[in-house]
Amino acid sequence: MNYIPMRLRILIGIFVVLTPLVIWRIASSGDPAPSTSPEVQAIRKDRIDGNVEGLTKKIKTYSPKHAGRAVTVLGTMGAKSLPVLKVILLEDKRPEIRQLAAQALAESVQASAPAEKPLTKQMTAALATAVATDKSPEVRAAAASALGRVYDYANMDSLLKAMDDEDINVRRKAYQAVSRIFGRKYIFNINSPSAERQVAIKGIATDWQTF
Protein backbone atom coordinates (compact mmCIF):
# COMPACT_ATOMS: atom_id res chain seq x y z
CA MET A 1 0.00 0.00 0.00
CA ASN A 2 1.43 3.35 -1.06
CA TYR A 3 2.13 5.82 1.72
CA ILE A 4 0.39 9.21 1.36
CA PRO A 5 2.10 12.01 3.30
CA MET A 6 -0.06 13.76 5.88
CA ARG A 7 0.29 17.15 4.18
CA LEU A 8 -0.96 15.70 0.90
CA ARG A 9 -3.89 14.07 2.69
CA ILE A 10 -4.89 17.45 4.15
CA LEU A 11 -4.71 19.11 0.73
CA ILE A 12 -6.87 16.38 -0.82
CA GLY A 13 -9.41 16.78 1.97
CA ILE A 14 -9.58 20.54 1.41
CA PHE A 15 -9.99 19.99 -2.32
CA VAL A 16 -12.88 17.56 -1.78
CA VAL A 17 -14.65 19.99 0.53
CA LEU A 18 -14.15 23.14 -1.54
CA THR A 19 -14.79 21.79 -5.04
CA PRO A 20 -18.61 21.68 -4.70
CA LEU A 21 -18.59 25.20 -3.26
CA VAL A 22 -16.54 26.53 -6.17
CA ILE A 23 -18.83 24.85 -8.69
CA TRP A 24 -21.90 26.34 -6.96
CA ARG A 25 -20.29 29.79 -6.92
CA ILE A 26 -19.52 29.68 -10.63
CA ALA A 27 -23.03 28.53 -11.45
CA SER A 28 -24.69 31.19 -9.30
CA SER A 29 -22.58 33.97 -10.82
CA GLY A 30 -24.62 33.57 -13.97
CA ASP A 31 -27.72 34.95 -12.26
CA PRO A 32 -29.01 38.05 -14.01
CA ALA A 33 -28.02 41.35 -12.36
CA PRO A 34 -30.76 43.68 -11.15
CA SER A 35 -32.09 45.68 -14.04
CA THR A 36 -30.98 49.32 -14.38
CA SER A 37 -33.79 51.85 -14.24
CA PRO A 38 -35.06 53.27 -17.54
CA GLU A 39 -33.98 56.75 -16.42
CA VAL A 40 -30.39 55.68 -15.87
CA GLN A 41 -30.34 53.83 -19.18
CA ALA A 42 -31.63 56.91 -20.99
CA ILE A 43 -29.02 59.13 -19.33
CA ARG A 44 -26.26 56.72 -20.27
CA LYS A 45 -27.41 56.72 -23.88
CA ASP A 46 -27.42 60.52 -23.97
CA ARG A 47 -23.91 60.54 -22.53
CA ILE A 48 -22.65 58.14 -25.18
CA ASP A 49 -24.39 60.13 -27.92
CA GLY A 50 -23.24 63.47 -26.55
CA ASN A 51 -26.88 64.53 -26.47
CA VAL A 52 -26.91 67.76 -24.47
CA GLU A 53 -30.49 68.55 -25.48
CA GLY A 54 -31.73 65.17 -24.31
CA LEU A 55 -30.01 65.54 -20.96
CA THR A 56 -31.43 69.04 -20.57
CA LYS A 57 -34.98 67.75 -21.03
CA LYS A 58 -34.38 64.99 -18.51
CA ILE A 59 -33.12 67.46 -15.92
CA LYS A 60 -36.42 69.34 -16.22
CA THR A 61 -38.67 66.29 -16.01
CA TYR A 62 -36.85 63.65 -13.94
CA SER A 63 -36.86 63.28 -10.17
CA PRO A 64 -34.11 65.18 -8.33
CA LYS A 65 -32.09 61.97 -8.00
CA HIS A 66 -32.00 61.26 -11.73
CA ALA A 67 -31.91 64.93 -12.70
CA GLY A 68 -28.80 65.29 -10.57
CA ARG A 69 -27.20 62.37 -12.38
CA ALA A 70 -27.92 64.08 -15.71
CA VAL A 71 -26.38 67.34 -14.46
CA THR A 72 -23.23 65.47 -13.45
CA VAL A 73 -23.03 63.90 -16.90
CA LEU A 74 -23.32 67.34 -18.50
CA GLY A 75 -20.25 68.32 -16.51
CA THR A 76 -18.20 65.79 -18.48
CA MET A 77 -19.12 67.21 -21.89
CA GLY A 78 -16.91 70.27 -21.96
CA ALA A 79 -17.75 73.60 -23.56
CA LYS A 80 -20.91 72.52 -25.35
CA SER A 81 -22.68 71.96 -22.04
CA LEU A 82 -21.66 75.27 -20.44
CA PRO A 83 -24.64 77.45 -21.50
CA VAL A 84 -27.09 74.82 -20.25
CA LEU A 85 -25.31 74.45 -16.92
CA LYS A 86 -25.30 78.22 -16.49
CA VAL A 87 -29.08 78.36 -16.89
CA ILE A 88 -29.54 75.49 -14.45
CA LEU A 89 -27.30 77.15 -11.88
CA LEU A 90 -29.11 80.47 -12.03
CA GLU A 91 -32.69 79.42 -12.71
CA ASP A 92 -33.48 75.89 -11.49
CA LYS A 93 -35.84 75.91 -8.50
CA ARG A 94 -34.18 72.96 -6.75
CA PRO A 95 -31.18 73.87 -4.58
CA GLU A 96 -29.66 70.39 -4.83
CA ILE A 97 -29.68 70.64 -8.63
CA ARG A 98 -28.14 74.13 -8.60
CA GLN A 99 -25.45 72.82 -6.28
CA LEU A 100 -24.59 70.03 -8.70
CA ALA A 101 -24.66 72.51 -11.58
CA ALA A 102 -22.00 74.61 -9.84
CA GLN A 103 -19.78 71.55 -9.48
CA ALA A 104 -20.43 70.49 -13.08
CA LEU A 105 -19.61 73.98 -14.36
CA ALA A 106 -16.20 73.82 -12.74
CA GLU A 107 -15.53 70.47 -14.38
CA SER A 108 -16.67 71.67 -17.79
CA VAL A 109 -14.64 74.88 -17.55
CA GLN A 110 -11.54 72.85 -16.69
CA ALA A 111 -12.15 70.59 -19.67
CA SER A 112 -12.72 73.45 -22.12
CA ALA A 113 -10.09 74.43 -24.68
CA PRO A 114 -8.25 77.78 -24.41
CA ALA A 115 -10.19 78.99 -27.45
CA GLU A 116 -13.36 78.83 -25.34
CA LYS A 117 -12.06 81.40 -22.85
CA PRO A 118 -14.70 84.07 -23.66
CA LEU A 119 -17.41 81.50 -22.95
CA THR A 120 -15.78 80.20 -19.78
CA LYS A 121 -15.51 83.77 -18.46
CA GLN A 122 -19.30 84.01 -18.71
CA MET A 123 -19.58 80.79 -16.72
CA THR A 124 -17.28 81.92 -13.92
CA ALA A 125 -19.25 85.18 -13.79
CA ALA A 126 -22.39 83.07 -13.27
CA LEU A 127 -20.67 81.21 -10.45
CA ALA A 128 -19.75 84.53 -8.84
CA THR A 129 -23.40 85.59 -9.11
CA ALA A 130 -24.44 82.39 -7.36
CA VAL A 131 -21.88 82.98 -4.60
CA ALA A 132 -23.32 86.44 -3.97
CA THR A 133 -27.05 85.95 -4.47
CA ASP A 134 -28.21 82.34 -4.20
CA LYS A 135 -30.57 81.81 -1.26
CA SER A 136 -29.18 78.36 -0.53
CA PRO A 137 -25.93 78.30 1.50
CA GLU A 138 -25.13 74.90 -0.02
CA VAL A 139 -25.26 76.42 -3.50
CA ARG A 140 -23.21 79.46 -2.46
CA ALA A 141 -20.59 77.15 -0.94
CA ALA A 142 -20.48 74.94 -4.05
CA ALA A 143 -20.12 77.97 -6.32
CA ALA A 144 -17.28 79.39 -4.20
CA SER A 145 -15.51 76.03 -4.27
CA ALA A 146 -15.98 75.88 -8.06
CA LEU A 147 -14.33 79.28 -8.51
CA GLY A 148 -11.37 77.99 -6.55
CA ARG A 149 -11.14 74.84 -8.65
CA VAL A 150 -10.82 76.84 -11.87
CA TYR A 151 -8.44 79.42 -10.35
CA ASP A 152 -10.74 82.29 -11.23
CA TYR A 153 -8.83 85.51 -10.56
CA ALA A 154 -11.44 87.73 -12.20
CA ASN A 155 -14.05 87.22 -9.47
CA MET A 156 -11.80 87.44 -6.45
CA ASP A 157 -13.96 90.24 -5.00
CA SER A 158 -16.93 87.87 -4.83
CA LEU A 159 -14.88 85.28 -2.95
CA LEU A 160 -13.52 87.86 -0.51
CA LYS A 161 -17.04 89.06 0.27
CA ALA A 162 -18.16 85.44 0.71
CA MET A 163 -15.53 85.01 3.42
CA ASP A 164 -17.89 87.12 5.55
CA ASP A 165 -21.02 85.17 4.56
CA GLU A 166 -23.58 84.46 7.29
CA ASP A 167 -23.09 80.72 6.74
CA ILE A 168 -19.92 79.19 8.16
CA ASN A 169 -19.54 76.61 5.39
CA VAL A 170 -19.73 79.31 2.72
CA ARG A 171 -17.02 81.22 4.58
CA ARG A 172 -14.91 78.06 4.74
CA LYS A 173 -15.26 77.27 1.04
CA ALA A 174 -14.60 80.88 0.03
CA TYR A 175 -11.47 80.99 2.20
CA GLN A 176 -10.25 77.70 0.74
CA ALA A 177 -10.87 79.00 -2.79
CA VAL A 178 -8.96 82.23 -2.10
CA SER A 179 -6.06 80.26 -0.60
CA ARG A 180 -6.01 77.94 -3.60
CA ILE A 181 -5.99 80.80 -6.11
CA PHE A 182 -3.26 82.72 -4.25
CA GLY A 183 -1.29 79.57 -3.57
CA ARG A 184 -0.83 80.54 0.07
CA LYS A 185 -2.62 80.28 3.40
CA TYR A 186 -3.76 83.42 5.20
CA ILE A 187 -4.49 83.81 8.88
CA PHE A 188 -8.27 83.77 8.89
CA ASN A 189 -10.66 82.34 11.47
CA ILE A 190 -14.03 81.45 9.99
CA ASN A 191 -15.47 81.34 13.52
CA SER A 192 -14.40 84.85 14.53
CA PRO A 193 -16.90 87.74 14.75
CA SER A 194 -17.75 89.55 11.54
CA ALA A 195 -15.75 92.65 12.52
CA GLU A 196 -12.59 90.56 12.94
CA ARG A 197 -13.22 88.68 9.71
CA GLN A 198 -13.59 91.95 7.82
CA VAL A 199 -10.23 93.17 9.10
CA ALA A 200 -8.57 89.98 7.86
CA ILE A 201 -10.40 90.17 4.55
CA LYS A 202 -9.28 93.77 4.07
CA GLY A 203 -5.68 92.66 4.51
CA ILE A 204 -6.07 89.89 1.96
CA ALA A 205 -7.74 92.32 -0.46
CA THR A 206 -4.78 94.70 -0.12
CA ASP A 207 -2.43 91.82 -0.87
CA TRP A 208 -4.60 90.94 -3.85
CA GLN A 209 -4.14 94.43 -5.32
CA THR A 210 -0.41 93.87 -5.46
CA PHE A 211 -0.51 90.23 -6.46
What pLDDT was estimated at residue 2?
52
Mean pLDDT over the full length of the chain: 86
What's the mean pLDDT in 183-209? 90
What pLDDT was estimated at residue 1?
45
pTM (two decimals): 0.79
What pLDDT was estimated at residue 177?
96
* pLDDT tens-place string over residues 155-181: 999 999 999 999 999 999 999 999 999
* pLDDT tens-place string over residues 1-11: 455 566 655 66
Contacts 24+ apart (CB under 8 A), 129-134: 129/90, 130/89, 130/90, 130/98, 130/102, 131/155, 131/158, 131/159, 131/162, 131/170, 131/174, 132/158, 132/161, 132/162, 134/95, 134/98
Q: Residue 145 pLDDT > 60, yes or no?
A: yes
Q: Residue 34 pLDDT > 50, yes or no?
A: no
Q: Residue 192 pLDDT > 60, yes or no?
A: yes
Q: Residue 104 pLDDT > 60, yes or no?
A: yes
DSSP code of residue 35: P
What pLDDT was estimated at residue 33?
44
Q: Mutual orientation of helices 64-74 and 95-111 as an angle, nearest 10°? A: 10
